[in-house]
Amino acid sequence: MSLLPADPKVRAVLERLHAQSAAQDPELGAYFGRRARAGDLDWRALDEDAHRFMADKMVALEPDKAAFCAQVCRALRARTVVEVGSSYGVSTLHLADPVREVVLAEGGAGRVIATEYEPAKCAAARGHWAEAGLVDLIELREGDLRETLKDLQGPVDFVLMDIWTEMARPAIELIGPHLRPGAVVIADNTTQFAEAYADYFAYLNDPANRLRTQTLPFAGGLEFTVRV
Ligand SMILES: C[S@@+](CC[C@H](N)C(=O)[O-])C[C@H]1O[C@@H](n2cnc3c(N)ncnc32)[C@H](O)[C@@H]1O
């Protein structure tokens, strides 16, 4: 069973983009390996050099994690999905596919609210979404998510948190109040970057926020949080 959506147009775009993203992995490994060996890398807040290096990188969510997110969206019959960190729009396509399924099957509205602040990534993502035939289901909020998510309208069914770790806490503070009971929030690499996610976990574990969380054993750890 393939991890990619069944629709041939979406599949073709995703096959190409996942391959492009994977092809950048050695360059990413070399950069962060060099910085780590030099002892001047702080994962809690990327510095200017790291931000500059990452500005044009895809860093797409791995296909198994993205497919899992799509399955959770299907199970939830998700119609309002928020993607925190969209880059070139790869995981956005994985999320928009099940939203389209529910809209086609049951009628009504559905959308993925995508967020990205690099203008070149936004332009490229729009092109990928149009090519895949899913652009009408995606609302891109271009700019710093700390501004663009301020006027979020709930209820939100599903959130993918795939962002530099320092942005996870500001994002969940804006989105958390709009989660419907039963909503799911998935965050990437929470074991690998546990220290950098400390303030995010403090939010998840605060009883006032009514969340229950568990780390799933995907590579790097995938945080699965339910609004109870
Ligand atoms: C890990 S990548 C997202 C990958 C994407 N989910 C995918 O699977 O294709 C994180 C993205 O978040 C963007 N980003 C980082 N900080 C941001 C902020 N404050 N507001 C909006 N976007 C931001 C980065 O430019 C980067 O493209």
Best of 163, 165, 218 for a ligand 1 pocket test (most atoms within 8 Å of beta carbon): 163
Distance, CA of 157 to chain centre: 14
Is residue 115 situated within a structural domain?
yes
Say how many CA atoms lie within 13 Å of 16 toward its Cβ.
Answer: 10
Residue 154 lies in domain: 63-227
In terms of residues, how long is the chain?
228
pLDDT at 40: 86
**pTM for this model (two decimals):** 0.97
Rg (C-alpha) for the chain, rounded Å, is 17
Is residue 27 situated within a structural domain?
no
* Structural domains in the chain (count): 1
Q: How confident is the model at residue 79 (pLDDT cuts 50, 70, 90)?
A: very high
Is residue 57 situated within a structural domain?
no
Is residue 204 situated within a structural domain?
yes
- Averaged pLDDT for residues 187-215: 97
The bridge status of strand 111-116 relative to strand 138-142 is parallel
Give the SS3 label for residue 84. strand
From the CB of 56, is ligand 1 less than 6 Å away? Answer: no
pLDDT at 42: 82
Which residue do the tokens 């899913």 mark? Answer: 134
From the CB of 91, is ligand 1 less than 6 Å away? Answer: yes
- Give strand pairing partners of 187: 161, 223
From the CB of 197, is ligand 1 less than 6 Å away? Answer: no
Indicate which CATH number applies to the domain containing 121: 3.40.50.150
Is residue 189 situated within a structural domain?
yes
Is residue 183 situated within a structural domain?
yes
Q: Report pLDDT digits (tens) over 121-158.
A: 999 999 999 999 999 999 999 999 999 999 999 999 99
Tell whether the model's pLDDT for residue 1 goes beyond 60: no
From the CB of 86, is ligand 1 less than 6 Å away? Answer: yes
Is residue 26 situated within a structural domain?
no
C-alpha 148/C-alpha 150 separation (Å) is: 6
Is residue 40 situated within a structural domain?
no
